[in-house]
Amino acid sequence: MKLNFLLAGLLAVAALAFSAAPTLAQSGDCVIKGNVNTRGERIYHVPGQRYYNDTVISYSHGERWFCSEAEARAAGWRKSKV
């Protein structure tokens, strides 16, 4: 019973943090979009690039926001070529 209660609490905290992430990223602080393409390549897009506005972040695919290009590269992502 205690384990179920603890697990439920942890899941609630994780859900709260997960749901807050898009709001923080879209506030202007972290505007670099980390996208995973159909081949599994991790590519980041910066504002002004061709596909930036079309790129939608899907956390379930492992996609994420970055606050700097250095952060994206350090995490193993490459810049979009277009």
Better-scored residue on pLDDT, 7 or 59: 59
pLDDT at 29: 82
User: What pairs with residue 45 in β-bridges?
Assistant: 33
Whether residue 25 has pLDDT greater than 70: no
pLDDT at 3: 45
